[in-house]
A and B are shown apart, each in its own frame.
Chain A
Amino acid sequence: MTETYYEPRDLEDFANIGEDAPEAGRKFFDYYATATGAGKLTEREKALIALTVATVRHCPYCIDAYTNKCLSLGVGSDEMMEAIHVGAAMVAGDTLAHATQIRKIIRKKEM
């Protein structure tokens, strides 16, 4: 069986997610367009943020979409990797920062 849960063509149906909840769907897409479009930050900067979030969140659809978008916007592979390292460092830092919770409980519990 070659079928998998994640298929590239699934993304084509993304535009239709509002079918059973049109108002929420419309508001989401409006918000999405505003949030990811050029503002004080350039479209290029936002594409790198989105690519980093997509990778950290392990979303294959968004990784595909935003790698292509970064390429289209002239973002170099070195710049993409640099951004991903920010994501990786944040995940590592976020994990280790939670070690303070462990340490706090240990300090409380141990004699």
Chain B
Amino acid sequence: MNDFIERLNACGVFPLRAAGIDILQMNITRRCNLTCKHCHVQAGPQRTEMMSRQTMAHCIQAAAHPRITTIDITGGAPEMHPDLEWLLGELAVLNKRLIVRSNLVVLLDPAYRRYLDLFAAHKIELVGSLPDHHAEKSDRQRGPGSFEGAVQVIRELNHRSYGLPGSGLTLHLVHNPVGAYLPGPQSALEGEYRRVLRDRHGLHFNTLFCLVNNPIGRYADYLKRSGNWSDYMHTLRCAFNLQTVSSVMCRTTLSIGWDGRLYDCDFNQMLDLTVNSGAPKHIADFDFARLAEREIVVRSHCFACTAGAGSSCQGALAD
């Protein structure tokens, strides 16, 4: 039995079960133009994994289920998937909340610039990575020049009314710590981001999502290499907040890998932990009723989602 199960057991909340499927999260590629030091996907330019059109078609079919309200497209850099344009067109017809997670700087590449207008045309909700509002810190995690690149892209998105109140075009930014510590309160950091980005760069956004770095993938390598692994895991365990357990994202999300396999979340996906308890394991066999009540597969890395104010792909769970 792993220590997260022990903790849930001690609190009387094991097993953790799904409470429906609200969000269908599709990880369509592990290819990315960046090689960020914290990336749990270990994405990069050399990765070749791409979701096939057939698997995308299965996802679209599943996304049409009336109980699913949100389709969340992630990667890698989704823009680098040759079928993203087609996929967005098909999903837009469903008239549901449609999210694309972007590293922003990929949109500076002439090959992908068209997505600036395409996202706006489909009213895609954008979630853009910006780990820190200090250029130097952000670049330490994502590579030299990436902060300035992100600033340019946010400016272009603002010109298209993204991130402006009342425009209907939503731009969220994502903060995650550049090092072995937890993010502070989301409201405090959002205020700081808003002040710095507005005053120094003239930029606007809607919401800041604060994410706890999950101790897997490249971030786990960094923690071990820098001698921070045991302290970080200890910090996560000490910061366990029972109040976050009922709202962890895996309870209402179904994560789909590039090859169509099904997971409780993107972190479990990277650990190759497919859905459990006899629920269908591939999107081709999608069965809402069976998946909506599945038992969630949990391990020690789950402490990252229950630490402090909690953490999810939509930011903190409680502030």
Chain A positions near chain B (C-beta within 8 angstroms): 8, 12, 38, 42-44, 68-69, 71-74, 76
Contacts and interface: CB of A to CB of B under 8 A. Distances in A.
Interface stretch (B16-24, B95-103, B150-158, B181-189): B181-189
Interface-centre pick from B177, B184, B191 (highest chain A CB count, 10 A): B184
8 contacts: A12-B238, A43-B184, A43-B188, A71-B177, A72-B177, A72-B183, A74-B134, A74-B189
Nearest to A69: B184
B179 interface: yes
Given A76-B134, A76-B137, A71 B189 contact: no
A76 B238 CA distance: 25
Contacts of B191: 42
Given A12-B238, A76-B134, A76-B137, A71 B179 contact: yes
A12 B184 CA distance: 20
Contacts of A73: 184-185, 188-189, 192
Nearest to B137: A76
Interface in B219-250: 231, 238
Given A73-B188, A74-B132, A74-B175, 11 more contacts: A8-B231, A42-B191, A44-B192, A71-B179, A71-B181, A72-B181, A72-B183, A73-B184, A74-B189, A74-B193, A76-B137
B133 interface: yes
B316 to A, nearest CB: 12
Contacts of A12: 238
Nearest to A38: B188
- CB-CB nearest 9 A-B residue pairs: A72-B184, A73-B184, A71-B181, A74-B192, A68-B181, A43-B188, A74-B189, A76-B134, A72-B181
A14 to B, nearest CB: 12
Contacts of A74: 132-134, 175, 184, 189, 192-193
Contacts of A72: 177, 181-184
Nearest to A64: B231
B33 to A, nearest CB: 26
B181 to A, nearest CB: 5
Contacts of A38: 188
Contacts of B188: 38, 42-44, 73
B185 A43 contact: yes
Nearest to A70: B184
Interface-centre pick from B137, B175, B193 (highest chain A CB count, 10 A): B137
A5 B193 CA distance: 40
Contacts of A8: 231
A90 to B, nearest CB: 26
Interface string B165-202: 00000000001010101111100110111000000000
Contacts of B177: 71-72
Nearest to B210: A72
